[in-house]
Structure 1
Amino acid sequence: MNLLRSLLPLAAVALAARAWAQAPVYGVLESYFIANRTTPGAIHRLSWGEFNWRALPNVKLTGSFTQMPDNWTLDEVCAAVDYKSSMLRVGRMRTAFGFNNWSEVFYNGFNHVPLVRMSPLTDGMRLTRDDSGLEFTTYLGGLQIQVAAVDTSLGDGQITPDNVDTGTVRLQGESGRFVLGLDAMKRLRHEPGVYGFDLRYTAPYVTSRVEYFNGDGSPSSQGYYADVQYRLPGHPRTSIVGMTEMFDKDKTGKPTFLHTVGVRQFFTRHLAVNLNYGWGSRLDNLPAIRMQGLDNWTLRAMFQIQF
């Protein structure tokens, strides 16, 4: 029995090595540099890397990390198991809730995360965060259904949940050029929750998105944004962008408005540069706007390598 126990780890390593050799590994590495009126020239803002391993035909393992100027943290570390039209994800992940995956947040012509996503909506809960737990995705006709039970309060290197305290539900359907999503998030043992919807419109040269979220409980906040990106005909590497945002912190009835216009230019397949200009009203309600220079000119360069 002791001999068998000693051989099991070796057998596991051998099987993993064989699977690694046969299974495809792919991913991406990115670095972001920004310049605005608050920075002394262009500075490194963050780097991000993601690695995916198709361990089995229906099993994908994902690991990603974020490197900031003064620290690093895990992003996602999870396993996804597919069965027919359904999928189960387990581990540390960005729970499906509106437009919250990495590509939605960063692969566009804007230099900041929307206010409604980076500001607390209720009980200290922000939408831009990592969770740990279970998420199940399936389809009912043309309706996509996603439900999750997760721990929303993770440490930088935490993978498994300590306290599964939040449940989420997302419904998504499409009609023609439109995709509509409905989202609900609720603390399992207290009152606070977040509810909202998202809408996407896609045409040959135009993409537009809208998100609205409302927190309940006390205090709580609400907000929305609407953006549009227009790719110039005959110039597929160039896009003109615009976004308007509202965030009513603590629902005082005196919301902050931020408006942004800009251009996104791909110089190579590895380098994209955004130039934005922002302005608005009651910007002092959210100190992050001034700190990030979002009320003036901002420049962002993204370097990307896929493998």
Structure 2
Amino acid sequence: MEEIQHESNLKESHKVLLTYIRSVCVLDQETLCRRFAKILRRLEPETLNNDTEIEDQSEAIVGMLEQYIASINNNIQDDGFKINKIRHQVSGAMLYVYVNTWVDEIAKTNSDFSANQISSLKSLIDDIVGSGENLEYSVSIVDAQQRIATETNKGIREASIELSWLLDQHWFNSTSERRVILSPRLLSELRPYLVDRYGISTNDSDGSLLQCFQCTDILTIGQKCPQTTCPVAFHSKCLNVYRRSAISEGQCPNYSNCGCTLFSGQEQEENYLTRVGVPEGTVLD
């Protein structure tokens, strides 16, 4: 595990929290808050109301968690690490991701990667992003194994083990339909690399990546304007926010360029958007 020079400046409770997040790499806010509350109960019991159930202190715990993470980030940023936040593309749940911020090349993400592993990682990302031309943003597990086998000069069985390791390390996720997709960790940690290599699709640019209009995160699962050349897309949860907004009126926010209506009916119940990525019900957490 990487050494963090400035970790010694943290209090014990901060160190325990950092160690936990670093060990699991990616976790949702609800899970992290439960673990954080246990840490506080053990190391800083005075910070919690012992007469109230933890569930009834959730808002206060989230607030304290944000303060602790801000303090941790202030101490580890000079060592090239950070605890990032990103929304789950399907559920909309807040995720916390431990990332390397010095990633201007994938080779710097993990010193344990061999040259062949880095090559296979890059190529697999290329394949997944390349499938975005058809709005798929996924490849089959069989194709992913074949890609890794080609890049690493290994057999399919060894490539299968390699892919399983990448999935276990949260670089990719799999679906119930045996598809491989970009993970929250990859989208968060490698965002600079992704944007630089593939570009974001806009009215003025033909980038290969879509960006959610509402939250501005990279989007590989969601819905987009039915006009092929229009870059507007939404995560499903973000789409609901936009639908309820006073500015939507059922029209695409890029209406002046595309002329598209996204919803119709008094309650905007009819949806004309095009699906992006794998079916949401197939995504495995």
User: What TM-score range do you get, normalising by the shorter chain?
Assistant: under 0.3
**Comparing both structures, which one devotes a greater share of its residues to strand?**
1
**Comparing both structures, which one devotes a greater share of its residues to helix?**
2
**TM-score with structure 1 setting the length:** 0.23
**TM-score with structure 2 setting the length:** 0.24
